Every structure is written in structure tokens, then in C-alpha cells.
Amino acid sequence: MDLPNAAPFAIRARLLSPLADGGTLHEPDGLVVVDDAGRLTFVGSASDAEMAGVSPQVLADALALRPWVVMPGMVDLHAHLPQLPNAGLGAGLDLLTWLDRYIFPLERAFDAPTAERVAPLAWQAFAAAGTTTALVYGAVYEASLDATFRAAKAHGIRAIVGKVMMDRITYDPTIDPAVILERSLAESARLIERWHGADEGRLRYAVTPRFAVSCSAEMLRESASLAAATGAYWQTHVSEDRGEIAEVARLFPEARDYVDVYDRAGGLGARTVLAHAVHLSDRELARLLESGTRVAHCPASNLFLASGVMPLGRYLEAGLGVGLGSDVAGGPDLSIFSVMRVGFYAQHARQVAGVESGPVLTPLEWLRLGSLDGARALGLDDVIGSLEVGKEADLIAIDPSFVAPLAGQAADDDPTDLASRLIFRSHPDMVRAAWVRGRRLEGPGSRG
């Protein structure tokens, strides 16, 4: 099949997407038209296209993909790119043993030559999983981050990346601990200058102090000022694990709780994404709400590492901005669809245990969480996250035969049934193509 590599193009397919003002777009015989700037100029029923001004030639030339489904690309709000080669390893180990055995060696070795080799494959793997926007942690080395960004630039994915900052633990014994803070800030500032907003905003920077356990109060404060001064994002981890929470309380005795550590640093706000937030108190939840801080929900990681089960219903009922993160390699799989599956099961488990107070999401609501809500958490919901006219064409095409229980079984007509299959029977090869701004990404279909 001759899939379009670049805009402009038109595709006739089944369409499934959340809509910005609520509800779901479902068109069994739909059409998307992408202009030469990579924007959606028509989204809807193929039979309405001519009435809406689509030329008969464009309609006739549209690539026929039915019964494939075209959807918005997924948004991964939390992943660690250098850890990807060890995804799925170390189940059942305690956190510190897992980090020592499987994670720190990879991060330590992720220098520029390693990044040049691995990052292109990593971006392809994101695209193969159906992710077209990713907010990720890189390594600690400046040159490694440049290589990671160059790979994203060449690949075409929409990427927000940050150099990990930490001054309590170091990977590089040649750096004098006394200068780590200053050096890490200077490196981050140079990376922001080179990459934040590159390719008309497709590439962006996130100032990335790893988490309170590995950062001094000064590092947290200075990194937050750097993000505020440059308009970059600020990302870190919060309240993932009971042991970690106790350690943060020991390291920051002046703080009221974990969220307060970041609050005192000036880190909360609408351009901040905190990963996990599994065990928030009511006060912490209220501060995240007041400050407009967003949360990356990573249920697959939280169960892989036995961290806990986030009270998603309670947070959503309160109005917290939440999207989904794979947290690879704490999570074993890059696929946001598989993250939805684990999240769904986890919410059912809370219900069974009688501890879920809020509503349990439907399959279509999970799809929204993984796409439009993720875009909203990044402040990009006017640009991506749904199939709507005027947005940029960040699309994926899925072959539903991969999720059918029997060979030759027809795809489900009902959109909720289709979403349920994509979540509970997601298949590593079901995403057959992905585009960002109408430019096709390498990765999907490369293995089968």
C-alpha cells in the first residue's frame, strides 16, 4: 500500500477521535484532508465532503484505508528514553535493586555515541506504538541530549525532552560535586537555546530535575527559575512510592509534604508535569489544582514496580489535569493503549477493593485521556490531540484485524466496542502508520 509520506494528502478511513467540546467523533466512512502545511482542513463523513467544499478530485484521489481506523496520535506524558532497551526486565525486584541492576548502567552509558545509535530506534519505537508526542527524560550529558534531539528532528516525532539534573547522585565522577549545580544549569540553558521551539515548536525542552531525592532544594529552585525564565516545561516525579515519600520527608524536614517541596521551589504551574502522584493527600491535590499543575498517570509502571494504584476517579472528579505516561522502563511497554489496559484493570481493582470513590472511566474516556487530555496537559490541545479542522495532522492508522479474536472476524461497528478492543487486545503491530504535521514517521509496520 502506498501510504502518503508528506502533506498534502487525503485519506478515506473509519475515524475515531475525542472532540474538544466533549463527545466522540465516529465516522464509519470518514475522510481527513491534510493541506500542504500539514493541517487538517476537513474531518468528517466522506458523503458530506463535497458539500463542505472538498473538491471532487481530492475525494476521488483520497487513499482508501477502510476498514482501517484513523485516530489522533497518542501522547506519552512520561518516559525515560535511555532506559528503553531494558523495558520489561526486572519484574519482582525491589526498586533499588532494579535501578542498580537494570537502569543506572544504561543511563550512565548513554553518552553521545550511544544516543546517536539508540535514539533513532527509540523514536521509531514510540511511533510504532502509536505515540506521536512524547515528553521524555534523556541522559545527564549535554552532548547526549543534542544527539537525542537531532534524532527526533530527523525522525519527525513531536518531542519534548530534558537533560536529567541531579546534584545528590552523580553519574560522572570527573565532575566536582561543588560545581554540578552550576554546570547542570548552564548545560540545560544551552540546550533550551538550541532546541526549545525548534522546527516551529515541534521540538521543545523540559527542564528535568530527576526528583526530590536526587536534587538539593537549590537545584529544584534554580531549575524552576530557568524554566520560568525561558518558557520551557518543568518535569519531575512526585509521590510514586511510600519509601520515596518517607525519604523526601527526611531530606526536606521544612516542607509540609512532598508537593510542598516543589511548591517551595517555585516548580508548580501550568507548564509543569509531575509523574505518578500516586499517594497525594487532600492538601497536595488541592495545591496541584490551585496551581494548574498537570499529572502524568503511569499505571503500568506503578504496578510493575508495586508502587501503588492512583485514585484516578478521585483526582478527575476534583478536576485535576491528567494524561497518560508509559514511564518506560518503569513501565514495560511504550504503548499508551497497553497503559490504558493496565489503568482500566487498576481502577477495577480499586472498585473491587471498595476504595474507588469517583467514576470508573469508559473505553472512550480512556482514549481521550491518552490523546486529547495528554495534549491539554502540555498546553497543546489547540494544536493536537484530536481530529478537528485547524489542528495539525498528528495521526495514526490502525488495522483493527490485529485486535479481532478470530481471523477474518469483522471489526466492531460500535465505537465503544472498537475502543474496548484496542485497549484490551492492543497488539504491537496494530498501528500501521503514523504522521506528525502530515509527515509520515518511520517505525509503524517495520516488524510485521
Give the footprint of Zn ion on this chain (CB under 5 A).
275, 327
Cβ proximity to Zn ion, 136 vs 403, nearer residue: 136
Report whether 266 contacts 225 (CB < 8 A): yes
Least separation in angstroms between CB 237 and Zn ion: 5
Q: What is the dihedral of CA 151, 375, 24, 125, to 10 degrees?
A: 20
Smallest distance, Zn ion to C-beta of residue 362, A = 27
Compute the least distance from the CB of residue 210 to Zn ion, in Å.
9
Cell 538539593 -> residue: 216
User: For residues 16 and 206, which CB has a smaller minimum distance to Zn ion in the complex?
Assistant: 206
* CA neighbor of 368 nearest in space, from 100, 37, 16, 77: 16
Distance CA 317, CA 300 (A): 22
236 versus 386: smaller Cβ distance to Zn ion: 236
Closest separation in Å from C-beta 126 to Zn ion = 15
Nearer Cβ to Zn ion, position 327 or 373?
327
CB-CB contact of 447 with 430 (8 Å): no
The residue among 82 and 438 lying less far from Zn ion, judged by its C-beta, is 82
The three three-digit cell numbers of residue 429, written as one number: 503491530
160, 229, 299, 440 from 197: Cα distances, Å: 9, 14, 30, 21
- CA 157 centroid distance within chain: 12
Residue 190: exposure state from Cβ atoms within 10 A (0-12, 13-18, ≥19): middle
Q: Is 235 left (phi over 0), alpha (psi -120 to 50) or beta?
A: beta
User: Please, which residue, 298 or 364, has the CB nearer to Zn ion?
Assistant: 298
Report residue 320 as a C-alpha cell. 485535576
Segment 117-121 long-range contacts (CB within 8 Å, at least 24 positions apart): 118/81, 118/82, 118/84, 118/85, 119/81, 119/147, 119/148, 119/150, 119/151, 119/152, 120/151, 120/154, 120/155
- Bridge partners of 70, per DSSP, are 15, 397
**Could you tell me the smallest distance in angstroms from the CB atom of residue 309 to Zn ion?**
17
Residue 276 CB, shortest distance to Zn ion, in Å, is 7
Closer residue to Zn ion in complex, CB, 62/277:
277
Cβ at position 261, least distance to Zn ion in Å: 17
User: With respect to Zn ion, which residue has the nearer C-beta, 136 or 398?
Assistant: 136
List of residues 6+ apart from 383 with CB closer than 8 A: 201, 375, 391, 392
Q: What minimum distance in Å lies between the beta carbon of 330 and Zn ion?
A: 5
| Of residues 327 and 381, the one with the C-beta less far from Zn ion | 327
- Determine the residue with CB nearest Zn ion: 327
Instruction: Please report how close the Cβ of residue 216 comes to Zn ion at its closest, in angstroms.
Output: 20
Residue 237 belongs to what H/E stretch? Answer: strand 233-238
